[in-house]
Amino acid sequence: MKNILDYTKAELAQEVDPKFRAQQIFQWIYQKGVESFDEMTNLPKALRQELAERFVIAPPKILQIEGSQDGSKKYLLQLQDGHTIESVLLPMKPEERDSTGKIVKEARYTICVSSQVGCKVGCAFCLTAKGGFVRNLTPGEIVGQVLAIRKEHAIPANRRVNIVYMGMGEPLDNLDNVAKAIRIFSDEHGLSIAPRRQTISTSGLAPKIEKLGQMGLGVLLAISLHAVDDRLREQLMPINKAYNIERIIEAVKGFPIDQRKRVMFEYLLIKDLNDDLKSAKRLVQLLQGIKAKVNLIYFNPYPGSPFQRPDEERAKAFQRYLLDRGILCTIRESKGLDISAACGQLKERSLGDSL
């Protein structure tokens, strides 16, 4: 049977008669969080029966949750065919209450979703890469991660959630399904997560960055840059042999970005490899002419990893260099650090445990 989560509202409207029922089905699934057609009480019984014969509502099943002291949670999720993926929930801002206890500002969350089982890109610092590539996720399997987490965490439908496609897999290597997920997420009768609150994080598939830009979806872009010279980047990310730094920067310069937004450059600081001021200087040169923001991330060593976490002073000096030259720059502190921040680690560990 087909997973109804794979359908955009427009596609679903082709499947039901009359078409406006698609809107009601979206509201039931995404806003009210029901998991059976029987509960969709404003649909005629015959339609509910027909839907149940043709479709399932199948978000992934949560197998394991690993919590961190900072409030982030990492989820190991099982798909219908038994494969597992992971997603991360990051609480961004707690709710604010006034003196009477009334909520004046809702809490905000970011959910980091996977787009593939495994990954073809093969980054040296990534455990997902070690398992190789298995398959692309369907749109419903991407959207379903958010449904499963919202339900588990009891996040009401009207709470603000941002999506980052930064879990397992290279989202631009599964662009068609990711694009459909973006549309389903942003549907006004569904979760209403506007495209400008969805960020595609890519290892730098330059032609796909260009294609994404041409699709005009309005999403934000994050580039996993990590190195400023091609030799080091090839070692860290073999994909750099196909699309080198210059080619990526060229693609980014042509990407349409909302006036108020910036392209995020992720830079994994690895001790003694790319954490020096010479690299910072080169980074400033590369980003000239781009409305950029740099997110420095401490490398988080995993058992057997060949790289180490940089010293804090080096990271701060790197950040200071960029800030002094007018480039917005943050250091991603330990969000999720005490769980397992590098993608794929929870999955690896659970596999290891079951062997």
Establish if 171 lies at the interface with ligand SF4 (CB under 6 A). no
- Report the amino acid identity of residue 258: D
Query: Which position among 66, 86, 141, 266 bears the catalytic label?
Result: 86
Label residues 189-218 b or e (16+ Cβ within 10 Å = b): bbbbbebbbbbbbbbbbbebbeebbeeebb
As a whole number of angstroms, the longest Cα–Cα distance in the chain is 68
- 169, 190, 310, 336: which one binds ligand SF4 (CB under 6 A): 169
Establish if 147 lies at the interface with ligand SF4 (CB under 6 A). no
CB of 352 to ligand SF4, least distance (A): 18
Q: Cβ-count burial of 290 within 10 angstroms (0-12 exposed, 13-18 middle, 19+ buried)?
A: middle
Residue pair 295/332 in contact (Cβ under 8 Å)? The answer is yes
Query: Residue count at the site for ligand SF4 (CB under 6 A)?
Result: 12
CB of 160 to ligand SF4, least distance (A): 26
Q: Which of residues 94-123 bind ligand SF4 (CB under 6 A)?
A: 119, 121-123
Stretch that binds ligand SF4, among 48-56, 102-110, 166-174, 296-304 (CB under 6 A): 166-174
Residue 119: active-site member: no
CA–CA dist 145, 291 (Å, integer): 31
| Residue 213 phi, psi dihedral angles, 5° rounding | -60, -40
66's tokens: 């690993």
Stretch that binds ligand SF4, among 32-40, 67-75, 167-175, 176-184 (CB under 6 A): 167-175
Establish if 126 lies at the interface with ligand SF4 (CB under 6 A). yes
141's tokens: 């399997």
CA–CA dist 179, 182 (Å, integer): 5
Residue 343: active-site member: yes
Establish if 203 lies at the interface with ligand SF4 (CB under 6 A). yes
Establish if 170 lies at the interface with ligand SF4 (CB under 6 A). yes
Of the pair 10, 351, the CB lying nearest ligand SF4 is at: 351
Which residues of this chain interact with ligand SF4, rule CB under 6 A? 119, 121-123, 126, 128-129, 168-170, 203, 343
Active site residues: 86, 343
